[in-house]
Amino acid sequence: MTAALAAVCGVAGLVVGAVLPVVIERVPAKQPVSGGPFPEIRAGMRTPSGWLAIGVTGALFAGMALRFGESWALPAFLVFAAGLVALSVIDLRLRLLPNRIVFPLGEVTLVLLGVAAIGESDGDAFLRSLACGFGAFAAFTLLHLVSPRAMGFGDVKLSFVIGLSLGWLGVGETVLGLLLGFVYGAVIGLILLASKSRSRKDHIPFGPFMAAGALTAVLVGNVILDWYSR
């Protein structure tokens, strides 16, 4: 049953990934997302980056299905994954994490986790999600105040959504996911500096690294934490 669910979610992820260019192109341009026609879908399928986004979204959806099975929390994490893919692409292109995606992503995730808490009779997980969301927001706000150039306020707002989602899994996963974002950013930053693709004065978007750290913690965070605690 889990394999069948993963296959269905994987196909759904491919469809979502094909549609994401509509959001990716229109939101930064402050255009309506729902109005047709949708030439962005066809244009996205004509580029390697478009197909990469489709493949990544499909793989993430399948991975989420394998991770959560028939859990009530699965829809929340599917939405979470799709939102992070869209935000990562936009941040890489424009160094921007639009409120028109971050805020709805947080709201929908909050509602879906609330439904999951009711469905699974697990109010403690929901309260932990809220606590981790606000905790991550406070920590990133402090980093933003200390170094605004290194930590934009878009990253701060995204940290709440990430903390909210990872908090459902546990405090350990939350800390791991946020920490991995910094690790990924540092490693890639050093590689870019060493290859002279970027200089120390160039700003590297942090949103994609936050997304990568969060998704790693969701998909294999329990494995990493179990290994670390041995």
Quote the pTM value: 0.93
| pLDDT band of 70, cuts 50, 70, 90 | very high
Q: Is the pLDDT of residue 198 over 80?
A: no
d(CA 156, CA 186): 18
pLDDT tens-digit map of 79-99: 999 999 999 999 999 999 999
Within 13 Å, how many C-alpha atoms sit on residue 214's CB side? 30
What is the model's pLDDT at position 196? Answer: 73
Nearest to 86 by CA among 9, 20, 14: 20
Task: For the chain, give the mean pLDDT.
Answer: 94
Give the tokens for residue 230: 């041995």
Q: Is the pLDDT of residue 58 over 70?
A: yes
What is the model's pLDDT at position 199? Answer: 67
Percent of the chain topping pLDDT 90 = 83
What is the model's pLDDT at position 34? Answer: 86
- How far, in whole angstroms, is CA 23 from its chain's centroid? 15
Q: Is the pLDDT of residue 40 over 90?
A: yes
d(CA 140, CA 97): 15
What is the model's pLDDT at position 200? Answer: 67
Give the tokens for residue 121: 């009779």
d(CA 51, CA 49): 5
What is the model's pLDDT at position 220? Answer: 96
Q: Is the pLDDT of residue 131 over 80?
A: yes
DSSP code of residue 206: S
What is the model's pLDDT at position 187? Answer: 93
pLDDT tens-digit map of 169-187: 999 999 999 999 999 999 9
